[in-house]
Copies of this chain bind each other. A is one copy, B any other.
Amino acid sequence: MKENTAKSKKSQERSKETKSRILGAAVLLFSQKGYDTTSVSEICTFAGVSKGAFFYHFSTKRALFLELLDNWLLDLEKSMEDIVKTSPNVPDALLNMTGIIKNVTNSSGGKLPLFLQFWSEATRDKEVWKATVSYYKKYRKYFAKIIERGIKEGSFKKVDLNVVSNMIVSFAIGLLLQELISSDEEDWEKLSREGLDMILQMLRG
């Protein structure tokens, strides 16, 4: 009995490791070659796993693609939640979040181009489109909640939550995209911090 549990635990670990090898290979290949031109076979070869193992973990290449983005956005969300929890007030929390932009680019390990391919795919694939729309809605709602908290704590004047949360999300997307293609040309963290500073001034009224 004990031996069986140990065995099953070992096999679970192996399965987890296989899955993360597949995910790692996919990130690399999608970023370098593009999602469209990367095949499941290539991912398997690169990861050193069988096709059977691939399809045990993912029903399709698209399912893998969606899981990659899910993981990435969950990490992002966790970082944002940590910042909110450890900041004394909403304006400070928002300013501290500009540091994430730097982390996202530095630690993405090639995941950022994926972020773009996600959009590209969303315009052609209904499932990917649905997932993308739901992410944006979620982020806009999240920032609306944060701004609302800022109003309640007395940091901000009363503003249209929908307009402001959309402005912040749009600003962040635009910054990320520009940083992605010209990371060395500008100090993006400074630009985002000072841009957000102006938005905060406006919110303070």
Contact = CB atoms under 8 A, between A and B. Distances in A.
Interface in A40-91: none
Contacts of A170: 170-175, 178, 195
A123 B115 CA distance: 11
Interface stretch (A5-13, A92-100, A180-188): A180-188
Give the number of copies in the complex. Answer: 2
A197 to B, nearest CB: 8
Contacts of A36: 34, 36-37
Interface string A8-47: 0000000000000000000000011110110000000000
A112 interface: yes
A136 B202 CA distance: 26
Interface string A115-149: 01101101110000100110011000000000000
26 contacts: A33-B124, A34-B34, A34-B36, A34-B120, A34-B124, A112-B123, A113-B124, A116-B119, A116-B120, A117-B120, A119-B180, A119-B181, A122-B181, A123-B180, A133-B181, A133-B182, A159-B198, A160-B194, A163-B191, A164-B198, A166-B191, A167-B198, A167-B199, A170-B171, A171-B171, A171-B174
Given A162-B191, A177-B177, A202-B202, 18 more contacts: A34-B124, A116-B116, A116-B120, A119-B177, A119-B181, A120-B120, A129-B181, A137-B185, A164-B195, A164-B198, A166-B195, A167-B195, A169-B174, A169-B178, A170-B195, A171-B174, A173-B174, A201-B202
* Top 7 A-B residue pairs of the complex, sorted by shortest distance between their CB atoms: A170-B174, A173-B174, A113-B123, A202-B202, A174-B174, A167-B195, A163-B194
